[in-house]
Each structure stands twice: as structure tokens, then as C-alpha cells.
Amino acid sequence: MSVISSAYSGFRLAYEALRGHRGWGPAWRKAAPKQAYDVVIVGGGGHGLATAYYLAKNHGITNVAVLERGGIGLGNVGRNTTIIRSNYFSPENIRFYDFSLRLWEGLEAELNYNAMVSQRGALNLVHADGQRDLLARRANQMLLEGVDAELLDKDGVKRLVPLVDVDNGRFPVLGGFLQRRGGTVRHDAVAWGYARAADRRGVDIVEKCEVTGITREGDAVTGVETSLGSIRAGKVLFAVAGHSSLLAAMAGFRLPLETHVLQAFVSEAVKPLIDCVVTYGAGHFYVSQSDKGGLVFGGALDGYNSYARRGSLPMVEDVLAAGLTLMPALGRLRVLRQWGGAMDMTADGNPIISTTPVRNLYLNGGWCYGGFKAIPAGGFTTAHLVATGAPHPLIAHFGLERFREGRVIDERGIGPYAWMH
Ligand SMILES: Cc1cc2nc3c(=O)[nH]c(=O)nc-3n(C[C@H](O)[C@H](O)[C@H](O)COP(=O)(O)OP(=O)(O)OC[C@H]3O[C@@H](n4cnc5c(N)ncnc54)[C@H](O)[C@@H]3O)c2cc1C
């Protein structure tokens, strides 16, 4: 039987270093599924694992299984560009995402896990007067909610990121919109940290266990069929990101979602070049530098529906062209790796954390481009929903019924579009 690793500390690190690091145990147990659980969570990504952790910690519900068809951290939680921020416009979204940012700020101490939370700042560039007006409005709205936001002029941008071509002939930079508390987090460490913390509170994390069917009695869910057999469940949560529509079909209903692939890229490692996250305002391009030195960047979705986690070459060209317009010096770098993730896009670009047409079946999904930053708050509020059956006040606007009732979320006040995330 494996010995689970005890608490991590500086003392322990020094002790293990002297013993050749032979004393570390696995971070979580390799659990085999039981026949029945109070709650079964389908999907061992960031949201599924965080929900399991907060169910145990906040609500004392520990008879919980997280069923993951692959390995922990191999879904979108380990495939994203790692950006966290709360620079939204609508008051409801500012409150939700800033709650998440505040949880990020204390997360490593809470989980006893180094997730490399780095509040290095998130900068959006301004290339037109109208864009500056919109971002000024957004900054004011954030300040009204007590959240940090700053507007920079062109010189301020140049000082912060000298690499940006502020005098670009086609898209000159007029200024920037900065949230200093935004930044990056080591993405797969988030999955590992929540997995370890949930496991230590008694949650079973079952890997290589694919859910293949949903069992119902009348209008209520009663369990799941899996590649490891049938499991009964009092409540079931879908937290499968890009695969939400497939799971919903197994349960007998449809979701207003489309799945697309989103690609990301990393360059060869170089010395420190970019100190913060930079988002291009004239095209869809965002970039930061990892602690290893690689530039991590991405752009928009591939334009067709797909569950494949690889993208098309036209989008590679599009992303690289935007990057070179913004920072011509990047042309000297080589791209080291490229990958993709299956994105669950809603019509208004906002997530769904909700009850479903099936009783005792809940959904956390529709994260579009932005579900990584939301993992702590998503897990916290989804746990509340599953435990109590009622939405936490921070997610009252994320209900599934909004699509049927025509109350879609107009996040930026300029139209409820999926790409306005
Ligand atoms: C390239 C890219 C860049 C991104 N950049 C950012 C960013 O910078 N900032 C940000 O906030 N967000 C970003 N995102 C979005 C973010 O990664 C996702 O919204 C978020 O990770 C989704 O939630 P999750 O972590 O729970 O999903 P996942 O990690 O995908 O977890 C879902 C899990 O469900 C499992 N699963 C699916 N079907 C089944 C089944 N039948 N049975 C059992 N298990 C199943 C999958 O294997 C998967 O592990 C990005 C996404 C991509 C792809």
C-alpha cells in the first residue's frame, strides 16, 4: 500500500534533499471506485477537483468520487495559457471573478501546494479612442466594486513592456488597461494541488474511469455507468468542460453549447523579456513568459466544431501574425510546442453553473476561453449548489434557464457575444 505524502514544508524539503528525495509518497491515493457515493463528479479537471475539495471542506460531504477518464491535469486545466484576472465589466462578473482572484491569493497556503501564483499584472493594449473609452468604463466599474484597475498612457506601456511596438504603423498603441493583481498560475499544479487536498479529506479520485452512461429513475439521476462498472450516486455533477454536450446527451437533454478547439503555443526559453501578461487590443493575441523562460501565447478559436485537441494551420498563422505585429522581435524565436483543448462555448461567452432538467444532476461548464481563472470560485460555488440545491449568490446569473428565457449576459455592454469573454 502506498504511503501518502505528508505536509510539504521547507524543513521537509531540506530533510528529503539530504536523503536523495526518496521519502516522498504519492500526492493522492489511486482509489478504486466504490459501489455508491453521495456525490459523483464526472471530470477530474480544475472545476471537478475544486468542487470535490470545497464539498469536503465547506460542507462536510466527503463520500465523493471524482471520475476522470484519463489522468489528472491532462484536460484543459493543464492546456491553458495560465492567465488569471478579474478585469470584467458587469458587476456580477467582477464580483465572481474577483472572489476567484482572492481565493488564488491564499490558495497555496490553503492547499499546502506550490501552484506558482504570480501576480505580475495583466495588461490590455489600447489602439483606438473608442477602445480607450470602453476600457475606461470597465476600469471605473471595477473601481466601484473595490477592485484594482489602472489606465496607462503610451509611455506607461512602453516602460512596462519595452518589447511592444507602440509606434506600429497599422495599429499604434495609445495606452493600456492594467490590472496589477492579474497574472499567471502554474496550471497543472492547480489540478494536482486540489487533487491532493481533496484526497486528504477523504474524496476518492478515480483515474482511467470513463463515464459512458447515466442512469435515471423518472426525472432523477441515480448513478453512472463507467468503464469500471456501475456506480450509484445521490447526486451527480458534470464538470467535463468541452465534453458537456456529450454527457448531457447521455442524460437525455441538450445544452446550448458548441465545442471548438483553442490552440496555444510556447516558444524556446529565453532570458526575461516580458514581465506581465500582455493582451493585444487589435487582434486576438495574448502572451506571458513562463518561469522556465518560454513565451506562452494564444489567440482565437479554430472556426469549426471539433472535439479533436489539435488545431488547423490557418489559425497558427493568424496567431503568429498578430504576435509579430505586436512585438516584431518575436520573429527571432522558434516555436517549441503547440497544442489544443476542446472548448465549450456558450452563446454569450459566460459559463453555466446550474441545476439541469434532471433532478439531482448539476452542471459546471460552458467556460469558453476563461475557465482557468475561475477554478477556485467555480469549485467553491458549485460545491454550494450541489450541497444545498440552490445557487450561491455569486452564480445566480450563470443559470441554464437564461438561454431559454432570453436573459443572456451582455458582459461588456456591447452585445452578448461568445468571444467577448
Ligand atoms: C489553449 C487554451 C488556453 C486557455 N487559456 C486560458 C487562460 O489563459 N485563462 C483562463 O482562465 N482560461 C483559459 N482556458 C480555459 C480553461 O482552461 C478552461 O475553461 C478550464 O480549464 C475548463 O475547466 P476544467 O479545468 O474543469 O476542464 P478540464 O481540465 O478539461 O476537465 C474536464 C475533464 O473531464 C474529463 N472527461 C470528459 N469526459 C469524460 C467522461 N465521459 N468521463 C470521465 N471524465 C471525462 C476530461 O478528461 C477532463 O480531464 C484555456 C483553454 C485552452 C484550451
Distance from the alpha carbon of residue 80 to the mean position of ligand 1, in angstroms: 8
pTM, entire model: 0.96
**What does the alpha-carbon distance between residue 347 and residue 27 come to, in Å, rounded to a whole number?**
38
Q: Is 210 in the pocket of ligand 1 (CB under 6 A)?
A: yes
Domain for residue 16, yes or no? no
Q: Do 263 and 331 share a domain, yes or no? A: yes
Closest ligand 1 atom, CA of 343? 53
Domain for residue 329, yes or no? yes
Domain for residue 400, yes or no? yes
Domain for residue 103, yes or no? no
Secondary structure (DSSP) of 90-155: SHHHHHHHHHHHHHHHHHHHHHTS----B---EEEEE-SHHHHHHHHHHHHHHHHTT---EEEEHH
Single out the residue of 328, 301, 296, 297 nearest to residue 315, CA to CA. Answer: 301
Type of residue found at 160: L
Q: What's the pLDDT score for residue 205?
A: 98
Q: Are 213 and 222 in contact (CB under 8 A)?
A: no
Closest ligand 1 atom, CA of 209? 43
Q: Do 262 and 232 share a domain, yes or no? A: no
Q: Do 219 and 362 share a domain, yes or no? A: yes
Distance from the alpha carbon of residue 277 to the mean position of ligand 1, in angstroms: 20
* Region at 224 (left for phi over 0; alpha for psi -120 to 50; beta for the rest): beta
Q: Do 284 and 250 share a domain, yes or no? A: no
Burial class for 74, CB neighbours closer than 10 Å (0-12, 13-18, 19+): middle
Q: Do 339 and 192 share a domain, yes or no? A: no
Q: Is 46 in the pocket of ligand 1 (CB under 6 A)?
A: yes
Q: What's the pLDDT score for residue 356?
A: 98
Q: Is 47 in the pocket of ligand 1 (CB under 6 A)?
A: yes
| φ and ψ at residue 56, rounded to 5 degrees | -70, -45
Domain for residue 86, yes or no? no
Three-class DSSP category at 70: coil
**What does the alpha-carbon distance between residue 161 and residue 404 come to, in Å, rounded to a whole number?**
44
**Who contacts 370 (Cβ-Cβ below 8 Å, separation ≥6)?**
421
Q: Is 197 in the pocket of ligand 1 (CB under 6 A)?
A: no
Select from 302, 326, 346 the last residue of a domain. Answer: 346
Kindly report the protein residue whose alpha carbon is nearest to atom 35 of ligand 1.
43
Q: Do 265 and 390 share a domain, yes or no? A: no
Q: Is 66 in the pocket of ligand 1 (CB under 6 A)?
A: no
Q: Are 413 and 130 in contact (CB under 8 A)?
A: no
Q: Is 367 in the pocket of ligand 1 (CB under 6 A)?
A: yes
Q: Do 266 and 129 share a domain, yes or no? A: yes
Distance from the alpha carbon of residue 128 to the mean position of ligand 1, in angstroms: 33
**What does the alpha-carbon distance between residue 77 and residue 86 come to, in Å, rounded to a whole number?**
18
Q: Do 370 and 342 share a domain, yes or no? A: no
Q: Is 353 in the pocket of ligand 1 (CB under 6 A)?
A: no
What DSSP element (H or E) covers 345? strand 335-346
Q: Is 43 in the pocket of ligand 1 (CB under 6 A)?
A: yes
Q: Is 413 in the pocket of ligand 1 (CB under 6 A)?
A: no
Closest ligand 1 atom, CA of 286? 8
| Total number of domains in the chain | 2
Q: Are 48 and 41 in contact (CB under 8 A)?
A: yes
Distance from the alpha carbon of residue 76 to the mean position of ligand 1, in angstroms: 3
Q: Look up the CATH number of the domain holding residue 225.
A: 3.50.50.60
Select from 296, 313, 346 the last residue of a domain. Answer: 346
Distance from the alpha carbon of residue 15 to the mean position of ligand 1, in angstroms: 36
Three-class DSSP category at 397: helix
| φ and ψ at residue 356, rounded to 5 degrees | -130, 175
Our mutation pick for probing the ligand 1 site, out of 240, 245, 261, 297, counting the most ligand atoms within 8 A of Cβ, is: 240
Strands 150-153 and 175-179: antiparallel
Angle at 129 between CA 127 and CA 134, to 5 degrees: 95
Q: Do 31 and 175 share a domain, yes or no? A: no
Distance from the alpha carbon of residue 99 to the mean position of ligand 1, in angstroms: 20
Distance from the alpha carbon of residue 75 to the mean position of ligand 1, in angstroms: 5
Q: Do 245 and 297 share a domain, yes or no? A: no
- Please identify every stretch of the chain with a pLDDT value under 50, giving residue numbers as ranges: 1-3
Three-class DSSP category at 48: helix
Q: Look up the CATH number of the domain holding residue 296.
A: 3.30.9.10
Our mutation pick for probing the ligand 1 site, out of 76, 77, 338, counting the most ligand atoms within 8 A of Cβ, is: 76
pLDDT (tens digit, 9 = 90+) per residue, 271-314? 999 999 999 988 889 999 999 999 999 999 998 899 988 889 99
Q: What's the pLDDT score for residue 283?
A: 81
Q: What is the DSSP letter of 347?
A: T
Task: State whether the Cα torsion 371-148-104-99 is positive or negative.
Answer: negative
Three-class DSSP category at 13: helix
Distance from the alpha carbon of residue 190 to the mean position of ligand 1, in angstroms: 12
Q: What's the pLDDT score for residue 281?
A: 81
The residue written with cell numbers 484594482 in the block is: 148
Q: Is 240 in the pocket of ligand 1 (CB under 6 A)?
A: yes
Q: What's the pLDDT score for residue 421?
A: 54
Q: Is 85 in the pocket of ligand 1 (CB under 6 A)?
A: no
Q: What are the E-state strand segments in 167-317? A: 175-179, 183-184, 204-206, 211-217, 220-226, 229-238, 257-269, 277-279, 286-289, 294-305
Q: Do 162 and 247 share a domain, yes or no? A: no
Domain for residue 221, yes or no? yes
How many angstroms from the chain centroid is the CA of residue 219? 31
Kindly report the protein residue whose alpha carbon is nearest to atom 9 of ligand 1.
83
Domain for residue 51, yes or no? yes
Q: Is 369 in the pocket of ligand 1 (CB under 6 A)?
A: yes
Please give the residue range of the domain that contains residue 168.
119-182+258-346
